[in-house]
Amino acid sequence: MSSNNINLYRNNIEYYLFHYKKVDEGRLGCVQFIEVTLTYLSWLKKQKSLASEYGFTQSCTDEFGRFLYTLIGQVKGNILEIGTGLGVSTSWIVSSMSANSSNLISIDNQQDYVGAIKPLFTQYNVEFIVADWKEIINKGPFDFVFADAADAKSTYAQELFKLLKVGGVLIMDDLTPEEYWPAEWRGKRDVVRDYWLNHPKLAATEILLTPQQAVIIASKLEE
């Protein structure tokens, strides 16, 4: 969403709030939703601006962000984000998670990234950790895990599996459909898909978000 579109959307909602702020209880939920939406739009704009300043190009796409937002809205419990980056996906998560029944731990090994975004989330149930993600095994298990670190999906897949609670949900993005693979990948084994889609203790599937972007979502069946 462009800055002009965000500003236009914001102006429209602020107009609504100005005229309808004093509403009865039956309409209060709508106003609260709009206020949360305004907060989210402000976050997203700031995070994308920071990513641009740092030359960071690995933030999640809007398509994935909306998908993540939808999933998080169903979660009550402990949430883990592996790979904070500059907070774009963190904004999607926090804007959707339940204020009274969900907590988020977001971990990244880049101190400057975490330091840049941490002040924006001080009033929310978010704990930022600067470390290798494998150092927080003792903080699990989690009800929801978003894995955005390459080694979590492949080299240390077993450790990632252990972080998930039975009945919990795991999601990982940045999967490219085979027809869009570069020539040097063709014919090679896809270790990420092979491991997660065929894991005997997971119910897992792949979902196509755009023609060139797929995600894996899985639920843990047993330890």
At 62 the pLDDT is: 80
The rounded percent of the chain whose pLDDT value lies above 90 is 31
Give the Cα separation of 29 and 24 in Å (integer): 10
What's the mean per-residue pLDDT of the chain? 78
Beta-carbon neighbour count of residue 88 at 10 Å?
A: 24
pLDDT tens digits, one per residue of 52-71? 666 655 667 888 888 888 89
Highest mean pLDDT among 12-21, 70-79, 94-103, 164-173: 164-173
- 0.85 cut: is pTM over it? no
At 48 the pLDDT is: 65
- Would you give the end-to-end CA distance of the chain in angstroms? 41
At 123 the pLDDT is: 82
- What confidence category does residue 111 fall into, taking pLDDT thresholds of 50, 70 and 90? very high
pLDDT tens digits, one per residue of 150-175? 888 888 999 999 999 999 999 998 88
pLDDT tens digits, one per residue of 112-163? 889 888 988 888 889 999 999 999 888 889 999 999 888 888 889 999 999 9
At 183 the pLDDT is: 73
At 155 the pLDDT is: 87
At 24 the pLDDT is: 42
At 80 the pLDDT is: 96
- What confidence category does residue 42 fall into, taking pLDDT thresholds of 50, 70 and 90? low
Closest to 165 in 3D by CA, of 144, 192, 186: 144
The rounded percent of the chain whose pLDDT value lies above 70 is 72
Instruction: Flag whether pLDDT at 51 surpasses 50.
Output: yes
DSSP characters over 12-57: HHHHHHHHHSS--HHHHHHHHHHHHHHHHHHHHHHHHHHHHHHT--
> Which residue has tokens 């402000």?
42
- Tell me how far CA of residue 95 lies from CA of 35, 72, 145, 150, 189, in angstroms: 11, 9, 16, 25, 37
Give the Cα separation of 28 and 21 in Å (integer): 8
- Tell the CATH topology of 62-220: Rossmann fold (3.40.50)
At 188 the pLDDT is: 77
At 205 the pLDDT is: 94
What are the boundaries of each domain within the chain?
3-54, 62-220
Q: Span 187-199, mean pLDDT?
A: 88
Which one is predicted more confidently, 146 or 51?
146
